[in-house]
Chain A
Amino acid sequence: MNKMKLALVSSVIVVIVALSLFPASANAQKKLYISGTQSLTGAYAEDSAAVLQAFEDYAKYVNETKNMAPWRKEKFPADITLEVLWRDDELKPAKALTIYEELKAKGILVYRCSGSPIALALKDRLNEDKMGATSMATGPYLLKPPGTIMSYYPIYTDSVAAVADWFLAEWKEKRKPRVAYLTADNAMGKSIEIPEMEAYLKGLGYEFLGSQYVPLVPTAPPTTQLMWLKQNRVDLALGVMINPGSQPTVKEMVRLGMGPYQPYKLTLGVATPGHIAVFAPAMGELGDGYVCAGSFPNWDDPAPGVKFQIANQKKYHPQKFASHIQYMGGTLEAMIQTEALRLAMQKVPFEKLKPADVLNYGFHQIKNLPTGDISSSPLNYGPSKIEGVDAVRVDQLRKGKIVKVGVWPTRHLY
């Protein structure tokens, strides 16, 4: 009897697996898919959850109104609905490969790579299939050589270059400002350590001193690294950190009397992953002087894009507001993917649409896409232009409030 039960359970499992392996076509219901992989269980789980929520809200908005955004006149085809198709990749490249093949078989024409491990694993495949994609990841590896994965905020080198530009504009002393890297001890953090970046800093007139590393999520305050900066009389520390790294670093800086408003003058400037909108409420005035480049506007920003997203959230899930700043990244990705599909359908009928059409007639034709000021500049893409923005927004925390200190052009350092 036990064996019969075992056989029955095994058969059910086999049938479920077999059924799940059969592809289902999107064409039968005149439906187009957006999204792709999410990393809801990896290190970026919170970011990815916000991105997914934004995708779902944007798809609902387009399906209901057929508008692309409140500030745009273009309409999405009335007879086609958008559906968000996603799978969790756990930020593991091996899973990303099979997920990609599955979603491709389901008829997805645009794709999303959740993070840099996924983008690196899929870059070659997406290129081969001429599948246009968006990604939360942005680094020099996406641009060397340019593939089909589009970025919607500046690469980290361009972000820290903007901080360097801003800092130099503010510099009053006659001597050369002294700069060093204080960055996360992982692939993301070290991606700014390229010769082009160092050459750019030296070209601006900085004295470059070297690198110090902070664990992605420090288990102890980075006292040694900060003391090294102090001993070398560094004025500006540049890096790529996430908030679990930047917050304890700044707390320790303050304890050691280091910071723009402290006895020892040191400014810490980081790229997007150190989102200032996450940093500000957590740190308050303690974090004064913290600089973040390439970030999205804060939730209290009067930008039309921010208002649009707040309205969407109030409409579709009033009981739960997704306050994570990466929600804005998700909205941008959904906008880019939907715009690519819309543009491609102007050239190729829905029934004949292939990923290559969406790439060539969609993604590559996106010019000056207005995002309601969610991104640092309107977005532009082309076969060799995958860094969508042309400018970097720089924000600083002053008296516990986020202050936009300016916008600098991207320097294309990779």
Chain B
Amino acid sequence: MAIFRTRGDWGILLAFLVFLSVCPLFLSDRILTIMTMIGIAIVSVHGLNILTGYCGQISIGHVGFMAVGAYVSAILTAKLGWSFWTALPCAALAAGIAGLIFGLPSLKIKGFYLIMATIAAHFIIIWLILQLYHVTGGPDGMPVPKPKIGGFVLKSKASYFYLVMVFTCLSTLLANNIARTRAGRAFVAVRDNDLAAEVMGISLWSYKLQAFFIGCVYAGVAGVLLVHYYAFASVDQFPFMDSVWYLGMLIVGGMGSTSGAIMGAISLKLLDELVTIVGPILSAVVAAQAAASLALITRGLVIILFLIFEPRGLAHRWGMIKTYFRLWPFSHEE
């Protein structure tokens, strides 16, 4: 079945693309920056969704794989003079291969033990980057050039916004399609009951590694987009806690759903923006440190509340709203 089934679907898609294309004309630099960061987060969360949401392989080392992509692209463009467009697939592939390597333990372990293995992956990757001082710049990091299309440098916030939005849309389309392929259905089978899946002839070895590869390719692309946006590569840009928040985005949005990955990334990023602004206002009443902690507390609280009251996330809630209005005015109250 096609993703866009009706004329209405196509109309909404077209309207959305037109909206995205005119955004830089009326939105401030700040909102463009927020949208760009959300776009990059969406690409990364899509990868985590394939790995964790669809295939059930929980990873808390996702940001480590973003760092692999970011640094490979940084080295290729800054040190070897490659173009961004040549470096990007190489960086994505490198992140995918790193994912394959660190995904190998998933063949033997799962659950809590796999979480520990992916945490270790993050710290090993960051340690390697710090040790390879002459290649990566070590703790000092390294400047990274902005991408170019022909002679045009994507330097402005608007141009980079377009670049990120193209990747966000493409990655969303691809993620949605992957979920509908044979591999996508196999991922779900492995997630729901790996023993039953194996009995049915699904190769756990192959599909778990495929999920790691695809998920980490996404992470690699997100890392590339991030590091070229900063125009600087540094290990500080890939803190371990971000992996946890990406998982939180998936929980809030809804695991195993492409729209959930998008909703989770958007909602937590916007929430973050809101509490960042509210913090200094509250500092008139409470100590500045306590007010600033609001962001951490709120994000954590939101994730806990979703786990308790809506474990299927915003995507499920959105599905219910759509169903309600599809039957309106004859919809029934639950």
List A contacts of B230 (CB < 8 A).
93, 97, 120-121, 124
> Which residue in A40, A95, A123, A140 is a CB contact (below 8 Å) of B288?
A40
B277 is an interface residue with CB less than 8 A from chain A: yes
Over the window 232-243 of chain B, the binary record of Cβ atoms lying under 8 Å from chain A Cβ atoms (1 yes, 0 no) is 101111010010
Cα distance A94–B237 when bound, in Å? Answer: 7
Q: Is A105's CB under 8 angstroms from B139's CB?
A: no
Over the window 105-142 of chain B, the binary record of Cβ atoms lying under 8 Å from chain A Cβ atoms (1 yes, 0 no) is 00000000000000000000000001001000011110
- Most central of B30, B141, B274 by chain A CB within 10 Å: B30
A88 is an interface residue with CB less than 8 A from chain B: yes
Over the window 169-205 of chain A, the binary record of Cβ atoms lying under 8 Å from chain B Cβ atoms (1 yes, 0 no) is 0000000000000000011111101100000000000
A191 and B272 in contact, given A98-B30, A98-B33 (Cβ under 8 angstroms): no
A301 is an interface residue with CB less than 8 A from chain B: no
B178 is an interface residue with CB less than 8 A from chain A: no
List B contacts of A104 (CB < 8 A).
29-30
Q: Is B272's CB under 8 angstroms from A101's CB?
A: no
**Interface hits, B117-171 → A, CB 8 Å:** 130, 133, 138-141, 143, 155
Q: Is B130's CB under 8 angstroms from A190's CB?
A: yes
Over the window 296-309 of chain A, the binary record of Cβ atoms lying under 8 Å from chain B Cβ atoms (1 yes, 0 no) is 00000000000000
Cα distance A90–B288 when bound, in Å? Answer: 13
Q: Is A93's CB under 8 angstroms from B279's CB?
A: no
> Which residue in B133, B274, B288 is a CB contact (below 8 Å) of A20?
B274
List A contacts of B289 (CB < 8 A).
40-41, 45, 49
B37 is an interface residue with CB less than 8 A from chain A: yes
Over the window 382-409 of chain A, the binary record of Cβ atoms lying under 8 Å from chain B Cβ atoms (1 yes, 0 no) is 0000000000000000000000000000
Q: How large is the interface on A (under 10, 10 to 19, 20 to 34, 35 or more residues)?
A: 35 or more
Over the window 208-225 of chain A, the binary record of Cβ atoms lying under 8 Å from chain B Cβ atoms (1 yes, 0 no) is 000000000000000000
> Which residue in A13, A88, A101, A189 is a CB contact (below 8 Å) of B279?
A88
Q: Is B37's CB under 8 angstroms from A97's CB?
A: yes
Q: Is A98's CB under 8 angstroms from B140's CB?
A: no
List A contacts of B130 (CB < 8 A).
187, 190
B72-80, B212-220, B249-257, B290-298 - the one binding chain A? B290-298
List A contacts of B104 (CB < 8 A).
none
Main secondary structure of the interface of B (DSSP, over half): helix
Q: Is A94's CB under 8 angstroms from B30's CB?
A: no
Q: How far is the CB of A357 from chain B (nearest CB, A)?
A: 19
Q: Is A93's CB under 8 angstroms from B236's CB?
A: yes
B177 is an interface residue with CB less than 8 A from chain A: no
List B contacts of A90 (CB < 8 A).
295-296
Cα distance A340–B280 when bound, in Å? Answer: 24
Q: Is A23's CB under 8 angstroms from B28's CB?
A: yes
A191 and B280 in contact, given A98-B273, A101-B33 (Cβ under 8 angstroms): no
Cα distance A13–B298 when bound, in Å? Answer: 14
A66 is an interface residue with CB less than 8 A from chain B: no
List A contacts of B29 (CB < 8 A).
101, 104-105
Cα distance A13–B138 when bound, in Å? Answer: 42
Q: Is A124's CB under 8 angstroms from B33's CB?
A: no
Q: Is B232's CB under 8 angstroms from A124's CB?
A: yes
Q: Is A187's CB under 8 angstroms from B236's CB?
A: yes
The number of inter-chain residue pairs (CB within 8 angstroms) is 125
Q: Is B30's CB under 8 angstroms from A23's CB?
A: yes
Q: Is A187's CB under 8 angstroms from B272's CB?
A: no
Over the window 90-129 of chain A, the binary record of Cβ atoms lying under 8 Å from chain B Cβ atoms (1 yes, 0 no) is 1011110111011011000000000011001101100010
A87 and B276 in contact, given A40-B293, A41-B293 (Cβ under 8 angstroms): yes
A41 and B37 in contact, given A92-B239, A124-B231 (Cβ under 8 angstroms): no
List A contacts of B234 (CB < 8 A).
93, 117, 120-121, 187
Q: How far is the CB of A399 from chain B (nearest CB, A)?
A: 35
List B contacts of A186 (CB < 8 A).
139
List B contacts of A102 (CB < 8 A).
30, 277
Q: Is A93's CB under 8 angstroms from B292's CB?
A: no
Q: Is B277's CB under 8 angstroms from A87's CB?
A: yes
Cα distance A296–B274 when bound, in Å? Answer: 36
Q: How far is the CB of A187 from chain B (nearest CB, A)?
A: 3
B34 is an interface residue with CB less than 8 A from chain A: yes
Q: Is A117's CB under 8 angstroms from B237's CB?
A: yes
List A contacts of B296 (CB < 8 A).
41, 90
Over the window 293-319 of chain B, the binary record of Cβ atoms lying under 8 Å from chain A Cβ atoms (1 yes, 0 no) is 101100000000000000000000000
A86 is an interface residue with CB less than 8 A from chain B: yes
Q: Is A121's CB under 8 angstroms from B30's CB?
A: no
Over the window 189-208 of chain B, the binary record of Cβ atoms lying under 8 Å from chain A Cβ atoms (1 yes, 0 no) is 00000000000000000000
List A contacts of B270 (CB < 8 A).
17
Q: Which residue of A lies closest to B142 (CB)?
A: A141
List A contacts of B226 (CB < 8 A).
94
Q: Which residue of A lies closest to B29 (CB)?
A: A101
Q: How far is the CB of B166 from chain A (nearest CB, A)?
A: 20
Q: Which residue of A lies closest to B238 (CB)?
A: A93
Q: Which residue of A lies closest to B272 (CB)?
A: A95
Q: Is A117's CB under 8 angstroms from B236's CB?
A: yes
Cα distance A23–B279 when bound, in Å? Answer: 17
> Which residue in B235, B287, B293 is a CB contact (below 8 Å) of A187?
B235
List B contacts of A101 (CB < 8 A).
28-30, 33-34
Selected A-B contacts with CB under 8 Å, 8 pairs? A3-B324, A17-B273, A21-B28, A49-B288, A88-B279, A93-B234, A124-B231, A193-B138
Q: A17-B273, A124-B232 are in contact. List 9 more A-B contacts (CB 8 A).
A: A17-B274, A20-B274, A23-B30, A86-B288, A88-B279, A92-B242, A94-B37, A104-B29, A140-B140
Which are the 4 A-B pairs with shortest beta-carbon distances?
A187-B139, A117-B236, A101-B30, A88-B292
